[in-house]
Amino acid sequence: MKISALQKERAKYQPKLPKSLKSTVKLVEGEKTESVADKKEIEERFPNTYGMPLLTFEEGKESSQKEPVNVGVILSGGQAPGGHNVISGIFDGVKNINPESKLYGFLGGPEGLIEHKYIELTSEIIDDYRNTGGFDIIGSGRTKLEKKKDFDKGLQIAKDLGLNALVVIGGDDSNTNACVLAEYYAKINSGVQVIGCPKTIDGDLKNEMIEASFGFDTATKVYSELIGNIQRDANSAKKYWHFIKLMGRSASHIGLECALKTQPNITLISEEVAQKQQTLGEIVEYMTGIIVKRAENGDNFGVALIPEGLIEFIPEMNILISELSDLLAEGSLSEKEFKHLKKSHRLAWVAEHISPKSAKVFQSLPSGIATQLTLDRDSHGNVQVSLIETEKLLGEMVKTRLEEMKAAKEFSGKFGTQYHFFGYEGRCAAPSNFDADYCYSLGSTASTLISTGKTGYMSSVRNLTAPADEWIAGGVPITMMMNMEKRNRKMVPVIQKALVELDGAPYKYFVSKRGEWAYSTQFIYPGPIQYFGPSEVCDQPTETLKLEKS
């Protein structure tokens, strides 16, 4: 296989580790924990793994070699930069426990565990993937580990391979499944431990003990490079407004981080929209106001960042989507009959069969978006919100509003648009030095948790704004992060998503600066990720983390 010169050099990079993971580890138990909410319900569902203490690793004294441990690893959910380094960290960690230890990778995500598809990960395989992006070493998948029969199938192959533990590398849903699996295996005294690792570029798996989910740093640096390039183009041509949608359906962490890195003219934060109960019309007026004022200064160009999940945070749109889902799933016309209606009749029929308030919102939408809302449904008949081109929706509505203002002689500028969606571009990038180090440390921490006999824990590496040598490794009980939420009409335990905190330092700093950025052109052009050079260029964490820890 031919590899690039950069990949050859990256293969030589040795990720940095916290001091406590470089030698024999001393385990320090902290306070016993409780779930973030719904304590009684969570404890009842997880009697064997609830209330465990926080764990911190410190440098210990030399000890004799331990018995070999065999570990299985699963990549679950969407890709995130650094996954290969987590696996490398686990591999090196278990080999340090005992050279006879073995690591197995289950192929294609959790389904590989259920269907008994796996490979042994040897040093020859691992060495080809160190410091590389993607999940292609074993592949990932979105099969959920939720059912007893799947747990039992997983236990069967675990026993066949002599596994001491499974490591699930995933986001909030995947680690929720890991917690359920850990509880079941503990309940039946299976002898198989389960450890989680926090992954998601969305940044919504975080708390006091999980300061960052891996991949977020690299992905936002990739997006920020692209945004910077577009800003440079906009400032050169001076004739387009670029509407950029950024991945992150449940939270606006990516949009906020990219704004802090690049200083665009407009950045929408979904959590702010929800708190202020803003309407679609109010958002359009806000954006239009900035565009008009910039035009008055002769600047008929700019950049707007829009979070992928914005629509679901706009109260009136949320109600509309809910009504459409109910109507089109259970309406008086079948889906086939509905699609055969003429377009004008179809939209009119929908408007007649929803509430007057929602009908008004529906009729204000560009026809293409309105049609999209009525046609793109999942197998349950629900609107597929992730398919809505929010950037085009807002661009078209702003254009319509500006045309109204131009007719009323309230606007005399020019308005041209370009649309972008950045998502997949960042998910499999070669990890930044920060993510390479952080992920390797998470993997090493997972192996240490296994060697100390722990289960139901997530790898935790904290103090991330300090040099890696000073990072604090340990474990946090997954039950500590859980609450009860309604899913498919049932209350179930899940890890609580971390949204942008509107009283947090990163958001407050952004608010203090966005007025300046809106009307001037203070663009920052971050450029590509740097892997070689001074630490202040190559090893820096996210702006979000810096502000949170300042």
Pairing of strands 70-75, 102-106: parallel
What's the rounded Cα separation, in Å, for the pair 483 and 469?
34
What's the rounded Cα separation, in Å, for the pair 332 and 318?
22
Q: Which residues pair with 214 in a beta bridge?
A: 199
202 included as an active-site residue: yes
Note the Cα 337 to chain centre separation in Å.
38
Provide the residue count of the chain. Answer: 550
What's the rounded Cα separation, in Å, for the pair 85 and 93?
12
Residue with tokens 């945070």: 313
CA-to-CA separations, 61 to 20, 23, 58, 66, in angstroms, rounded: 11, 8, 10, 14
Q: Give Cβ neighbours of residue 73 (< 8 Å, ≥ 6 apart).
A: 87, 90, 103, 104, 105, 106, 121, 138, 166, 167, 169
What's the rounded Cα separation, in Å, for the pair 432 and 133?
10
What's the rounded Cα separation, in Å, for the pair 460 and 462?
6
Q: Closest by alpha carbon to 529, among 319, 292, 222, 251?
A: 222
What's the rounded Cα separation, in Å, for the pair 137 and 104?
11
Measured over all CA atoms, what is the biggest interatomic distance in the chain, rounded to whole angstroms? 83
Residue type for 484, please?
A: M
Identified catalytic residue from 172, 202, 204, 217: 202
Take residue 110 and report the two structure tokens written for it.
């959790």
Helix (H) or strand (E) holding 406: helix 390-407
Q: Closest by alpha carbon to 46, among 538, 480, 400?
A: 480
Residue positions annotated with a catalytic role: 202
